[in-house]
Structure 1
Amino acid sequence: MKAIFDERQWAHDPKHFMANGVVLPNPEQPERIERLHAGALAAGCTFETPKDAGLGPIAAVHSPEYLTFLQTIHKRWQFIDGAGQEVIPNIHPSNRTDSYPKSAVGQAGFHQADSACPIAAGTWESAYWSAQSAITGADALIDGTRSAYVLSRPPGHHAFGDQAGGFCFLNNAAIAAQRLVDHGLTPAILDVDVHHGNGTQGIFYHRDDVLTVSTHADPERFYPFFWGHGHERGAGAGLGYNLNLPLPRGTNDADFLTTLDTALSRVRAFGADVVVIALGLDAYIDDPFKGLAVTTEGFARIGAAVARLNLPTVLVQEGGYLCDELGYNLTSVLNGFQGA
């Protein structure tokens, strides 16, 4: 299988993460790249570097105001007396229509949903090349390749059109899907991460040209809390084009796969001619976030189930955090997909 990755994705090295009022080391570490890269190679992937398609395909999903913020905020942050090395918000507007301040602190609060997406010197460069990798993956399908794996890091599915969150800055899966739309295709996004892809949902919620489906741990007591519930079906033209399938904490292989069948049935009903998989591996039973209980063998069955759609597929990396089995779980998904 073709795989895409750019070495500049190593530059993002976040230090801070706040959980339950405690400042902890950030789980989205560069070491994820090493383990995922090894896992893809073990599945027979051949890596290539992405082409630079410029800002256009990214701006098709993200607002120019937000892209300006991402490119400039770290430098501006350094002019604040006593500021930390990373941009971390400490105040947020009550809604997206509140005033847009000139202050770097105020803009950080507007454009960063939480404290899990600190911005440092290398963040924009890594996020940019993570997105370019996803664009190149989409382009591979446009050019006739049947499948591709994209090692996108930092991940993307919690990024809205104008807001970072949950380790994510640019929504790689959404950017890939929009690229496919722009070339006349009809994509479905299927998100199998343990966390709901709230940014992806938000980007396409009012649209009927992209189907968004997500299987994830029930957000009633799990991040991202405010999105991912079953009653969220889309709005306006997009009503009926968003499907959330929340799962109880600790859901095992069998129950996850039963729910995945429902997700795949919706993809077929949509008439998709191409699929973007937002490939989270953090549904694993021993992932640090402990949301679901999928096993390494379960990931192989997930990959095989997706392959049975028999559609061109780009698998874009989302979550999956540092544990001994991270690389093996990626190998399992890709081998299951290729062996189906």
Structure 2
Amino acid sequence: MRIYYSEDHRLHFPQAELSGGQFVTPFERPSRVEYVLTRLRERSLTDINAPAAVDMGPIRTLLDPGYLSFLETAWDDWKAEGMAGEIIAANVPARGMHMDRIPQNIDGKVGYYCHASETAITRGTWAAALSSVACAQSAQRHVAAGADAAFALCRPPGHHATADQYGGYCFINNAAVVAEMFRNSGAARVAVLDIDFHHGNGTQTIFYDRPDVMFVSLHGAPQETYPYFIGYADEKGAGAGEGANLNYPMTAGTGYDLWAQALDDAIARITAWGAQALVVSLGVDAYKDDPISFFKLESDDFTDAGRRIGRMRLPTVFCMEGGYAIEAVGVNTVNVLEGFKDA
């Protein structure tokens, strides 16, 4: 399986995240990728390539132009106002406020374009986000050209980024861009299967009213965990997209038996829907020891999950998402890929 990876991910390394009322080192950090790379090499998965230059075309198709402009200039605008630290949202529009008027001051813009203040922007965030989506795009091109699968080792991750907001460590929705590219390259129907512990709110909102992209997510119940306000089972899609959105929220302590039942049902629904290409938002934070999750999957369970996904026999792009048990993230990620290969 070909892997795409960029050293530019290191350009994004916020020094602080607000968690539990205090500033801590972010759970989403560069070392996550190092553990994945190490495990890939240990398992002789060494077809690791730098991505081609980013193609802004499909990104501009999906994302709000004002949001993209904000991401590109936010750091310079922040520093121009004399701000000393990293960019962290402090003011957000709430109920009763204007949601349709974008502030001119950078502090207000940050709040307007952010939906989760644990996510900071640094000097290198924009460049890192572009390198991340470039990995995803290169993986899609490789599969569209005839390969069975490819793995985009994306960092920053993407599935929490909407068309006009960042948060959950995500800035550009890599999986959504890949799905759009599959559509552009001839797949009539594309499925995005999100197995990250946290609901892929960004991917859902981007495709919620579209009949050509099915979004399916296995995740922690939103009444119990981030992103809290989206990801319920009754969210089925809207308009032409009615029925093309499936959520499988599960409660604290969920183990592999129940999780695998949801995965099997998701796979059956995707197959019946007639997907011609598959994008997997590959988060491994359903692992039992993940510090910000509450499922109980073992490392071997990820191998079996990959095997079940592989039996779909669809052209598949894996996009790296979450997984914050640092020392296990490499093993769990590679287990999915090896299970997929062995299906």
* TM-score scaled by length of structure 1: 0.97
Q: Structure 1 residue 276: deviation in Å?
A: 0.2
The whole-number CA distance in structure 2 between the counterparts of 1:124 and 1:144 is: 31
- Match among 167, 181, 184 for residue 183 of structure 2: 181
**Worse-matched range after superposition: 110-119 or 152-161:** 110-119
The equivalent residue for 1:113 is 115
Q: Percent identity?
A: 38
Unmatched segments (≥5 aa) in structure 2: none
The whole-number CA distance in structure 1 between the counterparts of 2:280 and 2:331 is: 18
The equivalent residue for 2:168 is 166
One-letter amino acid of the counterpart of residue 44, structure 2 = G
The equivalent residue for 1:259 is 262
The whole-number CA distance in structure 2 between the counterparts of 1:235 and 1:292 is: 30
The equivalent residue for 2:4 is 4
The whole-number CA distance in structure 2 between the counterparts of 1:42 and 1:274 is: 29
The whole-number CA distance in structure 2 between the counterparts of 1:137 and 1:241 is: 24
The whole-number CA distance in structure 2 between the counterparts of 1:44 and 1:150 is: 17
One-letter amino acid of the counterpart of residue 260, structure 2 = L
Q: How does 1:265-280 map onto structure 2 within 5 Å?
A: 265-280=268-283
Is the contact between residue 54 and residue 131 of structure 2 (CA under 8 Å) also seen in structure 1?
no
Helix, strand or coil: the match of 1:137? helix
The equivalent residue for 1:224 is 227
Q: Structure 1 residue 98: deviation in Å?
A: 2.5
Is the contact between residue 31 and residue 326 of structure 2 (CA under 8 Å) also seen in structure 1?
no
Q: Structure 1 residue 44: deviation in Å?
A: 3.4
Q: Deviations over 1:249-308 (max 9, x none)?
A: 121111111110011011112100110000001110011113211110000010000001
1:324 maps onto 2:331 in alignment:
no
- Match among 212, 219, 231 for residue 209 of structure 1: 212
* TM-score scaled by length of structure 2: 0.96
One-letter amino acid of the counterpart of residue 138, structure 1 = Q
Q: Structure 1 residue 23: deviation in Å?
A: 2.1
Helix, strand or coil: the match of 1:213? strand
Q: Structure 1 residue 232: deviation in Å?
A: 0.6
Is the contact between residue 117 and residue 169 of structure 1 (CA under 8 Å) also seen in structure 2?
no
The whole-number CA distance in structure 2 between the counterparts of 1:40 and 1:84 is: 39
Q: How does 1:122-133 map onto structure 2 within 5 Å?
A: 122-133=124-135
One-letter amino acid of the counterpart of residue 316, structure 1 = C
Unmatched segments (≥5 aa) in structure 1: none
1:194 maps onto 2:197 in alignment:
yes
Q: How does 1:1-340 map onto structure 2 within 5 Å?
A: 1-45=1-45, 46-81=47-82, 83-94=83-94, 97-185=99-187, 186-340=189-343
One-letter amino acid of the counterpart of residue 94, structure 1 = A
Q: Structure 1 residue 311: deviation in Å?
A: 0.8
Q: Structure 1 residue 86: deviation in Å?
A: 1.1
Q: Deviations over 1:94-145 (max 9, x none)?
A: 3784211111011100111111221000100110010011011111111011
Is the contact between residue 3 and residue 48 of structure 1 (CA under 8 Å) also seen in structure 2?
yes
Q: Structure 1 residue 238: deviation in Å?
A: 0.8
Q: Deviations over 1:204-245 (max 9, x none)?
A: 001111000000011111000001110111111111110000
The whole-number CA distance in structure 2 between the counterparts of 1:278 and 1:264 is: 14
Is the contact between residue 14 and residue 28 of structure 1 (CA under 8 Å) also seen in structure 2?
no
The whole-number CA distance in structure 1 between the counterparts of 2:20 and 2:230 is: 19
Helix, strand or coil: the match of 1:221? coil
**Worse-matched range after superposition: 321-330 or 103-112:** 321-330
One-letter amino acid of the counterpart of residue 32, structure 2 = R
